[in-house]
């Protein structure tokens, strides 16, 4: 379907009050200046593959290195703010039932005002104790490298899902349900290579939803979408979401 027709169809569906699910990735926060996983080339962390640092093995081998990486990312996220794409998803809540399923750990959807957010890969602001399992929210920037648990003194780890770790079953089940029940799935700024998150696109398509992708280039899930909308999500998503509100 050509882009103009496709955009119009998506805008019309949203304007008709359709039930929306939005699957977001690092590309949605790119316009806020947060480096994407594939895009952190210009940083001192460029010599590390995220897949190598975001693992329980890496943390077991060198927890200080992994904490320095997370502290660096927390600093970037704290210093920046959500962009127009995040805000447009929050605003559409007034007119449409919408659930955001995000792979991002930055907390920007909630900061932009979204109230129904499933953090599929956890949150960089959540810490979990390796000894007693206690979870706390800690937004200190910088954070003491190798932070310890206030309850038992154990080492704390970032409350994110690392490669080789399972997704929280409650979050996974809710996300699959939202993907299967939505009438429109917005796929925003993801390379679509990390599973099981990317599989949610096929769940929505197989359930008859209209699937629209917002990306600067085709991704690993583009074969499952009905409408591809090229460009930066910070420009394209507000335009289409707001078209529905006659704005």
Active-site residue list: 121
Could you tell which of Zn ion, ligand BV8, none binds residue 58, using a CB distance below 5 to 8 A set by kind?
none
Output phi, psi for 28, to 5 deg. Answer: -70, -30
Residue 172, both tokens: 């996974």
Nearer CB in complex with Zn ion: 149/234: 149
Cα separation of 58 and 62, whole Å? 6
Tokens of 139: 């937004």
Is the Cβ of residue 78 or residue 95 nearer to ligand BV8 in the bound state? 78
Residue pair 106/35 in contact by the 8 Å Cβ criterion: no
Q: Does 149 bind Zn ion (CB under 5 A)?
A: yes
Q: Which is nearer to Zn ion, 154 or 220 (CB)?
A: 154
Q: Is 146 in the site for Zn ion (CB under 5 A)?
A: no
* Closest C-alpha among 122, 118, 103 to residue 160: 122
Taking the complex as a whole, the smallest distance from the CB of residue 60 to Zn ion amounts, in Å, to: 17
**Only segment of 3-11, 44-52, 145-153, 218-226 that touches Zn ion (CB under 5 A):** 145-153
Tell me how crowded residue 230 is: count the other CB atoms within 10 A of its CB. Answer: 12
H or E element, residue 203: helix 199-206
Q: Which residues bind ligand BV8 (CB under 6 A)?
A: 25-27, 30-31, 36-39, 51, 54, 103, 105, 121, 160-166, 189-191, 193-197, 214-217, 219, 232-234
Pairing of the two strands 135-137 and 122-129: antiparallel
Per-residue binder mask for Zn ion (CB under 5 A), 100-139, x = binder: -----------------------------x-xx-x-----
Nearer to Zn ion, 152 or 216 (CB): 152
Is-contact 9 197, C-beta < 8 A?
A: no
Binding site for Zn ion (CB under 5 A): 129, 131-132, 134, 149, 151-152, 154
């Amino acid at each position: 379907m050509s882009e103009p027709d496709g955009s119009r169809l998506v805008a019309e569906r949203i304007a008709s009050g359709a039930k929306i699910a939005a699957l977001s990735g690092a590309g949605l926060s790119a316009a806020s200046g947060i480096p994407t996983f594939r895009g952190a080339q210009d940083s001192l962390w460029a010599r590390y593959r995220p897949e190598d640092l975001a693992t329980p093995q890496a943390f077991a081998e060198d927890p200080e290195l992994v904490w320095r990486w997370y502290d660096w990312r927390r600093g970037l996220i704290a210093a920046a703010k959500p962009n127009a794409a995040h805000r447009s998803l929050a605003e559409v809540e007034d007119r449409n039932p919408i659930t955001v399923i995000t792979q991002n750990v930055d907390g920007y959807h909630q900061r932009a005002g979204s109230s129904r957010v499933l953090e599929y890969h956890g949150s960089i602001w959540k810490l979990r104790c390796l000894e007693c399992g206690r979870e706390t929210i800690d937004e200190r920037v910088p954070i003491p490298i190798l932070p310890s648990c206030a309850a038992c003194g154990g080492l704390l780890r970032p409350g994110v899902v690392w490669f080789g770790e399972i997704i929280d079953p409650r979050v996974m089940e809710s996300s699959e349900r939202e993907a299967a029940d939505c009438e429109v799935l917005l796929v925003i700024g993801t390379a679509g290579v990390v599973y099981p998150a990317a599989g949610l696109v096929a769940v929505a398509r197989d359930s008859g939803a209209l699937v629209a992708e917002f990306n600067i280039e085709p991704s690993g899930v583009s074969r499952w979408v009905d409408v591809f909308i090229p460009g930066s999500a910070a420009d394209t998503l507000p335009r289409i979401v707001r078209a529905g509100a006659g704005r």
